[in-house]
Copies of this chain bind each other. A is one copy, B any other.
């Protein structure tokens, strides 16, 4: 058991350090030597745990997806309205990009993309977010918080694209400092157009909905 605990700790250490390197210089820029040095392990340990640089990248992509789904499930289990949960989802998706592991997972999927498919790893880093947002938008229409003329899958694709773009622009310009503000602006632009006129008094409270992960 002690040996297994040590193995898990080593794996985590490799994943965290590798994520920082992949996030900074991308898959092609990342050298195994740099990861090994940063994680203070031997090359042998890296290959023992992950098989290859590709295996390590696949593992990080999987972790990113797993963490994304976990927070989506947590948001869905709150008793907030579907519209409020959509706001929470977008802010949480943006917040997660301040974590190097999440950024590395997204970047690796973007760089390795569908062209060089990574075995059984999902090729679309945005899929869980898109599916959840579609489901929430459908519920928000049913709950009367979004007008019926809005197409839930179309709105969901727009949200995920807009948050993804906000991340990218915010990273380039301010290293994520203005990211939360950009997501807030996104909702300020969108909500008056999608919330029925009779419920415009709820826009302010809906747009301030946030979900906070409990400390692990």
Q: Give 8 nearest A-B pairs by CB, closest first.
A: A193-B193, A28-B29, A165-B165, A164-B165, A161-B165, A162-B162, A25-B28, A161-B166
16 interchain pairs, CB-CB under 8 A? A25-B26, A26-B29, A28-B29, A113-B172, A114-B175, A123-B173, A125-B172, A157-B182, A158-B162, A158-B186, A160-B165, A161-B186, A162-B165, A164-B165, A165-B166, A192-B193
By the criterion CB–CB under 8 Å, are A168 and B110 in contact? Answer: yes
A sample of 13 more A-B contacts (CB under 8 A), given A158-B185, A165-B168, A190-B193, is: A26-B111, A28-B28, A29-B29, A109-B172, A123-B173, A124-B173, A125-B172, A126-B169, A157-B185, A164-B164, A165-B165, A168-B168, A189-B190
- Stretch of A37-45, A80-88, A147-155, A206-214 on the interface side: A147-155
Map CB proximity to B onto A162-190 as digits: 1 under 8 Å, 0 otherwise: 11111111011111000000100110111
Stoichiometry (number of copies): 2
By the criterion CB–CB under 8 Å, are B111 and A171 in contact? Answer: no
**A113: which B residues are within 8 A, CB to CB?**
171-172, 175
Q: How distant is A163 from chain B, measured CB to nearest CB, in Å?
A: 7
Taking Cβ atoms with an 8 Å cutoff, the residues of A that contact B are: 25-29, 109-111, 113-115, 123-126, 149-151, 154-155, 157-158, 160-169, 171-175, 182, 185-186, 188-190, 192-194
